[in-house]
């Protein structure tokens, strides 16, 4: 169980509290694209990322879906949308400091995904032998 501070006292969370917290996290971060968008932006904090660059980097996301996901991430304070004073006007996106708090989650998912891919390859190689 996870420990939390409540009224100045440390205590373990209940299973129900943990499940609610997981549901809240999945409501904000769930779906096919949000974590990928956050990871893409987190890996490029030194760059100006505009909509088309983001769309090309997270292929094959549609413009409509990217727009929807960006609005939700902005609403949840995980990214910023900045209108640049250029001609034509451009908009850039960046991960917020709060959004960077999701990095350990994406890092764990990347590591697990790489290990899982290798495990499946090994399993397929063994079954072919």
pLDDT in tens, 28-82: 999 999 999 999 999 999 999 999 999 999 999 999 999 999 999 999 999 999 9
Residues spanned by the domain of 13: 1-30
Do 58 and 68 lie in one domain? The reply is yes
Do 11 and 40 lie in one domain? The reply is no
pLDDT of residue 129: 72
> Would the pLDDT of 120 be above 90?
yes
Do 26 and 41 lie in one domain? The reply is no
pLDDT single digits (tens) 76-111: 999 999 999 999 999 999 999 999 999 999 999 999
pLDDT of residue 1: 83
The domain total for the chain is: 2
**What's 58's DSSP letter?**
T
Do 64 and 38 lie in one domain? The reply is yes
Do 4 and 20 lie in one domain? The reply is yes
SS3 breakdown of the chain: % helix, strand, coil, rounded to 5? Answer: 55, 15, 25
CB–CB of 99/38 below 8 Å?
yes
Do 44 and 25 lie in one domain? The reply is no
pLDDT of residue 127: 85
Do 24 and 37 lie in one domain? The reply is no
Say which CATH number the domain at 74 has: 1.10.10.10
Do 64 and 14 lie in one domain? The reply is no
- Residue 52 and residue 49: Cα distance in Å, rounded? 8
Do 99 and 75 lie in one domain? The reply is yes
Do 68 and 103 lie in one domain? The reply is yes
């Amino acid at each position: 169980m996870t420990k939390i501070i409540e009224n100045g006292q440390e205590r373990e969370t209940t299973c129900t509290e943990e499940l609610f917290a997981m549901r809240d996290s999945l409501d904000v971060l769930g779906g096919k694209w949000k974590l990928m968008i956050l990871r893409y932006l987190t890996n490029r904090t030194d760059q100006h990322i505009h909509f088309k660059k983001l769309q090309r980097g997270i292929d094959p996301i549609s413009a409509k879906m990217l727009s929807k996901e960006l609005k939700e991430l902005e609403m949840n304070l995980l990214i910023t949308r900045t209108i640049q004073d250029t001609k034509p006007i451009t908009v850039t996106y960046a991960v917020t400091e709060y959004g960077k708090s999701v990095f350990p989650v994406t890092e764990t998912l990347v590591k697990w995904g790489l290990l899982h891919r290798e495990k499946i390859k090994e399993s397929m190689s063994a079954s072919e032998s």
